[in-house]
Amino acid sequence: MFYFRGCGRWVAASFTKQQFPLARLSSDSAAPRTPHFDVIVIGGGHAGTEAATAAARCGSQTLLLTHRVDTIGQMSCNPSFGGIGKGHLMREVDALDGLCSRICDQSGVHYKVLNRRKGPAVWGLRAQIDRKLYKQNMQKEILNTPLLTVQEGAVEDLILTEPEPEHTGKCRVSGVVLVDGSTVYAESVILTTGTFLRGMIVIGLEMHPAGRLGDQPSIGLAQTLEKLGFVVGRLKTGTPPRIAKDSINFSILNKQTPDNPSVPFSFTNETVWIKPEDQLPCYLTHTNPRVDEIVLKNLHLNSHVKETTRGPRYCPSIESKVLRFPNRLHQVWLEPEGMDSDLIYPQGLSVTLPAELQEKMITCIRGLEKAKVIQPGYGVQYDYLDPRQITPSLETHLVQRLFFAGQINGTTGYEEAAAQGVIAGINASLRVSRKPPFVVSRTEGYIGVLIDDLTTLGTSEPYRMFTSRVEFRLSLRPDNADIRLTLRGYKDAGCVSQQRYERACWMKSSLEEGISVLKFIEFSSSKWKNLIPEVSISTSRSLPVSILKYFTIDKDLLCNNTLCEFINHQTTYESVLFHQLQEIKGVQQDEALQLPKDIDYLTIRDVSLSHEVREKLHFSRPQTIGAASRIPGVTPAAIINLLRFVKTTQQRQAAMNESPKTDQCLRDADRLQERQL
């Protein structure tokens, strides 16, 4: 057993009994000298909370280590969840019994479904969230989760031991070292460090170390990971200033009202906690040429923009938008931060100019002429680790039983972090019990697309989920996430409750029964033509699959709005889904062809591969032929050669397995012949 460094601090949480149940928090006096857990999760953000609760749901004794317990569930940037592509991730996290969807249904102040003008496969569930309420509800859930202990502490180092011979990796993690030198041991460790790895906050030309405004960065842990050989990169992000609500002239702005009825995120909820008429509106305004002028004249005062570090492409700062799209008006959404909050979040106005210039810029915008800035916007620069260094289970190639989730993998957004967190938590727990990993493929969910993109393609800029990244969008809809993942989560991972599992089973059987009933409706061809004149009908009396989309089921007949909408969506795509299913089977066949885990791509001579391809395969270490085919630079010829190698290896292994049986049979025959003689 060996350490990379030895300094740390074990800090006990202290809260009043009214705020938190003390039984759920560790303390110095009660903690043993060498505490041991099944799983340790480092970081209490959106990835960390999902990872910790997922591991606990799977039956593992879990420790959540965070700098401050009172920041668990804190929404560090925008006060919203969901959106196009992101809403799908939330539904899938919920299907695996994750937290964020249920908490959003208890904490939202404005619910809306985006992309309604398009088909239901690409609708984006979204909600403005009350920051204070979300944090309260999340902390209540976390601190009352069975098998989960929450502890304040700053992790400085990893405890490493000799590797397990049956797995790849140069060492194995077996615990963590805190900043006072005390140790905590575990079978698996999950890092969800967010923007804290060597985090640096930037406002104008001023820079100071911080992972988030008011929180210290993690320096020692970043150095440890670098010394272990992980490829480290640097990314940046930013947040807008916060504006006093009473200083805004809303009367001249475009008002956006919530949906009626509100659509909940969680499959377990029929509705959200607040009525549509009690929800808060959002307002829309735009930038103008005066904003561009202030930005362009003061670029020399903005070190964040001058940095070569890559920022988010799909949520850029106002400086980046002005530089990339000159002479355009840019949307600025004014979003409430809570029911009793006096702050407004100007979505689309992320900025890192000096504070006085931020205020000057904001007062140029319509409706904000008298706006007061309560907190200036700022940028954050931080380390991330190339995600091609992790497997689809989110375990690292270099260090056994060490898992990464969230922004440490180069993603951006609460939803992407939560999706990785729930998968990391499940697999860290399965690793403890030595069970096969729980992997979601590209054909099964948006989570699978997210993780596959990261592990095969990597990223050089903050990765954001979009529907356009997904090949099988019609099959992977928000409304069927429970049928796709809940059943697997229950059987393969044990992370889903019995109640949720039974609900998903009922929904699946009800859908199949409903579609079956529709298909067996029979009329004469003339009656079909009268009912649906715009469609050509063959002489067949039964209902053709291609025209199911013209039927709308009345919700009063089923007495279940969710099931009714589900069947209507399924019938909309029924004719196309058959062909997409064939494509999915082809992809799944490629995914079924496993590559040997211990293959050394740099030295192996049984397969013809170029030096470039060998390097790419050695770095990414794909687990299947399908994953290898998606790595940029790996040619079709290389895939064919790999395929031949895999089949030859399988045949050779099968022959070796058969050989002992044949030898045994010959020995048994000889003994029998001897007895007969």
Among 85, 158, 192, 164, CA closest to 423? 192
Find the helix or strand (DSSP H, E) in which 172 lies.
Answer: strand 171-178
Predicted pLDDT of residue 248: 98
Q: CA torsion sign, 605 to 607 to 608 to 609?
A: negative
Place of tokens 């889903």: 496
Integer angstrom CA distances of residue 339 from 129, 130, 133, 278, 618: 9, 6, 9, 10, 52
Find the helix or strand (DSSP H, E) in which 82 lies.
Answer: strand 80-82
Place of tokens 């290898």: 628
Is 504 inside any structural domain?
A: no
In the predicted structure, residue 264 carries a pLDDT above the cut 60: yes
Predicted pLDDT of residue 528: 62
Residue type, 648: T
Q: Residue 390 sits in a domain of what CATH number?
A: 3.50.50.60
Which residue among 431, 463, 492 closes a domain?
A: 492
Higher pLDDT, 13 or 285: 285
- Are 591 and 626 spatial neighbours (Cβ–Cβ below 8 Å)? yes
Predicted pLDDT of residue 23: 32
Is 337 inside any structural domain?
A: yes
Predicted pLDDT of residue 536: 58
DSSP 8-class letter at 436: P
Is 604 inside any structural domain?
A: yes
Predicted pLDDT of residue 15: 33
Place of tokens 């990893």: 158
Cα distance between residue 274 and residue 585, in whole Å: 43
Cα distance between residue 405 and residue 47, in whole Å: 6
Place of tokens 């009202």: 257
Q: What is the pLDDT of residues 437-483, one digit of tens each?
A: 999 999 999 999 999 999 999 999 999 999 999 999 999 999 999 99
Is 157 inside any structural domain?
A: yes
Q: What is the mean pLDDT of the chain?
A: 87
Cα distance between residue 459 and residue 412, in whole Å: 11
Which residue among 378, 393, 419 closes a domain?
A: 378
The strand ranges marked E within 325-449 are 331-336, 343-347, 373-375, 378-385, 399-400, 402-404
Regarding whether 44 and 173 lie in a shared domain, the answer is yes
Among 9, 288, 52, CA closest to 157? 9
Regarding whether 185 and 66 lie in a shared domain, the answer is yes
Residues 639-644: contacts with CB under 8 Å, at least 24 apart: 641/607, 641/608, 641/609, 642/595, 642/607, 642/609, 643/593, 644/607
DSSP 8-class letter at 521: -
Regarding whether 41 and 161 lie in a shared domain, the answer is yes
H-assigned helices in 123-208? 131-142
Q: In a 3-state reduction of DSSP, which class is residue 221?
A: helix
Predicted pLDDT of residue 94: 98
Q: Residue 641 sits in a domain of what CATH number?
A: 1.10.150.570
Predicted pLDDT of residue 13: 32
Place of tokens 């797995």: 167
Residues 668-677 have a mean pLDDT of 54
Is 31 inside any structural domain?
A: no
Q: What is the pLDDT of residues 493-540, one digit of tens each?
A: 999 999 999 999 999 998 888 777 777 766 666 776 676 666 555 545
Q: Which residues, including other chains, have CB under 8 Å from residue 328's CB and lie 6 or more apart?
A: 321
φ/ψ region of 367 (left if φ > 0, alpha if ψ in -120 to 50, else beta) reads left
Regarding whether 160 and 49 lie in a shared domain, the answer is yes
Predicted pLDDT of residue 665: 56
Higher pLDDT, 266 or 568: 266
Cα distance between residue 28 and residue 31, in whole Å: 5
Regarding whether 274 and 251 lie in a shared domain, the answer is yes
Is 529 inside any structural domain?
A: no
Is 666 inside any structural domain?
A: no
Is 581 inside any structural domain?
A: no
Regarding whether 388 and 335 lie in a shared domain, the answer is no
Regarding whether 186 and 46 lie in a shared domain, the answer is yes
Regarding whether 397 and 336 lie in a shared domain, the answer is no
30 falls in which pLDDT band (50, 70, 90)? very low
576 falls in which pLDDT band (50, 70, 90)? confident
Q: What is the pLDDT of residues 621-645, one digit of tens each?
A: 998 888 888 998 888 888 888 888 8
Regarding whether 459 and 440 lie in a shared domain, the answer is yes
Q: Residue 258 sits in a domain of what CATH number?
A: 2.40.30.260
Q: Which residues, including other chains, have CB under 8 Å from residue 410's CB and lie 6 or more apart?
A: 233, 235, 384, 385, 386, 387, 454, 458, 459, 461, 462, 463
Provide the CA 243 distance to its chain's centre, in angstroms: 30
Regarding whether 397 and 294 lie in a shared domain, the answer is no
Regarding whether 154 and 74 lie in a shared domain, the answer is yes
DSSP 8-class letter at 276: G
Regarding whether 182 and 52 lie in a shared domain, the answer is yes
Integer angstrom CA distances of residue 383 from 4, 199, 315, 462, 470: 19, 7, 19, 11, 28
Instruction: Write out the residue range of the structural domain in which residue 633 sits.
Output: 593-657
Domains held by the chain: number: 3
Tokens of 127: 């909600």
Which residue among 492, 527, 557 closes a domain?
A: 492
DSSP 8-class letter at 258: P
Predicted pLDDT of residue 11: 32
Q: What is the pLDDT of residues 353-390, one digit of tens each?
A: 999 999 999 999 999 999 999 999 999 999 999 999 99
Find the helix or strand (DSSP H, E) in which 184 lies.
Answer: strand 183-191
